[in-house]
Amino acid sequence: MGNVLEAFELKSHKCTDVITAEALACLRGIQMAKDLGVQKLIVEVDNLELANALINSLSVNFSRCPQLSHTPTAHCQLSSHHACGHAAIKPKPLRKTLKIVSSTAEPLKVMISGAPASGKGTQCEMISQKFGVVHISTGDILRAEVSAGTEIGNKAKEYMNSGRLVPDEIVTAMVTARLSLKDAKEKGWLLDGYPRSSAQAESLEKLSVRPDVYVMLEVPDDILIDRCVGRRLDPLTGKIYHVKNFPPENEEIKERLVTRPDDTEEKVKSRLEIYKNNVESILSTYSDIMFKINGNRPKEVVFTEIDSLLLRLQKDKEEKSKSGKLIINENQLDKLSPEKNNWRGIPTRLNNIPHSREIREYFYEDVLQATKRAIEAGKTRLKVEISIPELNPEMDVYRIGTLMELVRIIALSFADDGKRVKVCVQGSMGEGALAGMPLQLAGTRKILEFMDWGDDGAMGTFINIGSIGANEVDEQDDMYILLAPQNAVGNCIIGDLKAMTDAAGHRPVVLVNPKLKDVPGSSGIMQTMGREERLKYAASFEICYFFRLLYYAGTQYPIMGALRMSYPYEYQLYKRVDESPKEEKYVILSKFEKRPSGEEINDAFEGKVRDKAKESTGIWGFFSSIF
């Protein structure tokens, strides 16, 4: 555990066994924070003896210690200044928790990949110049280690001299050693073209080396081949030219240009095939943080998109460092380990109805973050589809209240960012006997108006309530959130909805649990006129968040699994597994770039290779009608 616990073991003889155990639990959390680079810690404990034990133990000066501060309280005046900073330890009754507040944003960690001639080298240079991250490529590392004559460099040299590939374990050791140097830790890093295989990727994962984002430059094969075949080398200066895209400055240079041996069409195609196979092998490791960038554009345009992506990541890190708090119960300290990303996994006990407040808030936050990412990426026509019992008004009318709470959370968050949000509910549709609205929406507008929108005066200024229609679009509105818009028998909401989105223009419109399928018209037959256009319009909204629980056919119990997608990541299929009485977990079965069909879900649960020709069968075949 390092110096923190070693120090405590030397000083714990003055404490009772109970205090020693509690202090060790706290120190494990502090050690974890230290390892994660946390710069400020606030530790709340429940008695004076424990506080003194911690203060005495933290007097040791260890390398890269988090900045610790001690704040005296009315119950206990404590003072202790250390070489490594200062510790905030104060007794607090009833709770045994460790509160860790990070005051310094972590640096960016980026991986980038691209085929030969994709422009990766140019983008790496622009990224490192703009963000100050350390550009690291395996080629440079190998050459540096060999040139320096290090032990690992000499091992690599033996393989290179004999014409063999340097083993993964040697390359990975070089990469991790480079990433552990002070400049990479403090400035962040840009790992160029590595890993290239699933084995390399898994090796990095085991060593907890994971980027914030994996950038993939995509360029069509014919363009890449043209870029490579048209390249020319000036042997005198080492400068690279292109016969069409970057011709030499004069005839003298042109006459001495040569084609590099690797720039023949045959060899370029071979290298492209190798690259594609490499990328395919690591997709599963980085698919959740992978961003594909169109590299078939001017370098400045490509960098603008990468720059926007990294700036958003940087901003998120800064916000988390300012306000992010990690509250850890002492019983959870032993179970803590760095996550691959910020998602906490699917909550358990979803079979228990009604859901706890904690579970509902989990989904509120999950939906909110996906919606924010989509809007920040420039998406303007979005929909949220979440089907859990607590958010499914088709099961009980009262559940629309939980859905309204989700809408309130989203609206307040965007209002906090200075956006003017209009929350809209469809009004009465149709005429005569068919006038009315879906039962689930009856009275929702009035309920929304009476909901608690906070004490900051957001309602009526940054948040307003409206109906669905073009006349509800005001110039001052920044975005619109529509609560469960749906067609009813004899009436269709799509006309009003389309008029509203047309009037909204480029402003975001978010549909929360829409039901836009065609239903019987007033004449008792399916509406046919304009049906194709309606379906096309309904499909024009991009899903930014999707969550559906999966059951056996014709049942609502027990839960067999779940399908989840959170923008911009792919669809993930999970299977629910009972571990012991009252214990369960969700295990990922498969990932899909697009929303999977019932057949694909059926195949994944049965462990079969996808056969597009077969009909859906088995206990999961009913999903075909759902998906």
Which of 541, 421, 418 has its CA nearest to residue 473? Answer: 421
271 is catalytic: yes
Q: What is the pLDDT of residue 316?
A: 79
Tens digits of per-residue pLDDT, 190-232?
999 889 888 889 888 888 889 999 999 999 999 999 888 888 8
Which ranges of the chain have pLDDT less than 70?
1-105, 320-345, 347-355, 389-400, 427-444, 488-491, 518-531, 553-557, 580-582, 609-627
Number of other residues whose CB lies within 10 A of the CB of residue 358: 9
Q: H or E element: which one contains 312?
A: helix 299-323
- Are 220 and 303 found together in one domain? yes
Put residue 489 in one of left, alpha, beta given phi > 0 → left and psi -120 to 50 → alpha: beta
Spatial contact of 514 and 383, defined as CB atoms under 8 Å apart: yes
CA distances from 364 to 29, 316, 405, 406, 584 (A): 28, 19, 8, 6, 22
Tell me if 597 is assigned to some domain: yes
Give the C-alpha separation, 127 to 377, whole Å. 19
CA distances from 155 to 99, 150, 201 (A): 46, 9, 21
Q: Is 352 exposed, middle or buried (0-12, 13-18, 19+ CB in 10 A)?
A: exposed
Give the C-alpha separation, 265 to 225, whole Å. 7
Give the C-alpha separation, 206 to 201, whole Å. 9
DSSP-assigned states of every residue in 280-298: HHHHHHHGGGEEEEE-SS-
- Are 75 and 213 found together in one domain? no
- Are 302 and 191 found together in one domain? yes
Give the C-alpha separation, 371 to 379, whole Å. 9
- Are 73 and 158 found together in one domain? no
Q: Is 625 exposed, middle or buried (0-12, 13-18, 19+ CB in 10 A)?
A: exposed
* Domain stop point among 335, 370, 391: 335
For residue 293, give the CATH number of its domain: 3.40.50.300
Spatial contact of 471 and 420, defined as CB atoms under 8 Å apart: no
Tell me if 363 is assigned to some domain: yes
Number of other residues whose CB lies within 10 A of the CB of residue 606: 11
Tell me if 409 is assigned to some domain: yes
pTM of the model: 0.44
Tell me if 26 is assigned to some domain: yes
297 is catalytic: no
Instruction: Give the SS3 label for residue 109.
Output: strand
For residue 474, give the CATH number of its domain: 3.40.50
Give the C-alpha separation, 68 to 82, whole Å. 8
Q: What is the pLDDT of residue 329?
A: 41
CA distances from 61 to 6, 28, 40, 80 (A): 12, 17, 15, 13
- Are 432 and 461 found together in one domain? yes
- Are 79 and 158 found together in one domain? no
Tens digits of per-residue pLDDT, 526-552?
455 566 777 788 888 999 999 988 877
- Are 56 and 155 found together in one domain? no
DSSP-assigned beta bridge partners for residue 551: 559
Catalytic residue from among 187, 239, 267, 271? 271
Tokens of 390: 């607590």
Tokens of 79: 């003072």
- Are 465 and 561 found together in one domain? no
Give the C-alpha separation, 516 to 269, whole Å. 47
Which of 300, 355, 295, 325 has its CA nearest to residue 119? Answer: 295
Spatial contact of 80 and 20, defined as CB atoms under 8 Å apart: no
Q: How many CA atoms lie within 13 A of 437 on its CB side?
A: 16
- Are 301 and 365 found together in one domain? no
Q: How far is Cα of residue 542 from the mean position of the Cα atoms in its chain? A: 17
Tell me if 530 is assigned to some domain: yes
- Are 467 and 611 found together in one domain? no
CA distances from 523 to 149, 407, 478, 519 (A): 86, 35, 39, 11
Domains contained in the chain, number: 4
Q: What is the pLDDT of residue 123?
A: 93
Spatial contact of 528 and 500, defined as CB atoms under 8 Å apart: no
Q: How far is Cα of residue 235 from the mean position of the Cα atoms in its chain? A: 46
Spatial contact of 225 and 152, defined as CB atoms under 8 Å apart: no
Q: How many helices and strands (H and E) does the chain possess?
A: 20, 23
Tokens of 611: 């056969």
Q: What is the pLDDT of residue 344?
A: 56
What phi and psi, each to the nearest 5 degrees, are found at residue 573?
-100, 125
Give the C-alpha separation, 26 to 8, whole Å. 11
Spatial contact of 466 and 481, defined as CB atoms under 8 Å apart: no
120 is catalytic: yes
Q: H or E element: which one contains 382?
A: strand 381-387
Domain holding 621, by residue range, is 552-627
Number of other residues whose CB lies within 10 A of the CB of residue 482: 25
Tens digits of per-residue pLDDT, 333-369?
333 333 334 455 676 666 666 667 788 888 888 999 9
28 is catalytic: no
Tell me if 347 is assigned to some domain: no
445 is catalytic: no
Tell me if 345 is assigned to some domain: no
Which of 234, 228, 233, 188 has its CA nearest to residue 211? Answer: 188
Number of other residues whose CB lies within 10 A of the CB of residue 13: 7
Catalytic residue from among 155, 231, 317, 445? 231
- Are 507 and 561 found together in one domain? no
* Domain stop point among 286, 301, 335: 335
- Are 539 and 424 found together in one domain? yes
Catalytic residue from among 34, 90, 120, 210? 120
* Domain stop point among 547, 563, 578: 547
Which of 306, 311, 334, 307 has its CA nearest to residue 105? Answer: 311
Give the C-alpha separation, 374 to 543, whole Å. 9
Give the C-alpha separation, 407 to 423, whole Å. 8
Which of 172, 179, 178, 137 has its CA nearest to residue 156? Answer: 172
Beta strands 88-91 and 134-137 are: unpaired
Number of other residues whose CB lies within 10 A of the CB of residue 320: 15
Q: What is the pLDDT of residue 36?
A: 57
Tell me if 451 is assigned to some domain: yes
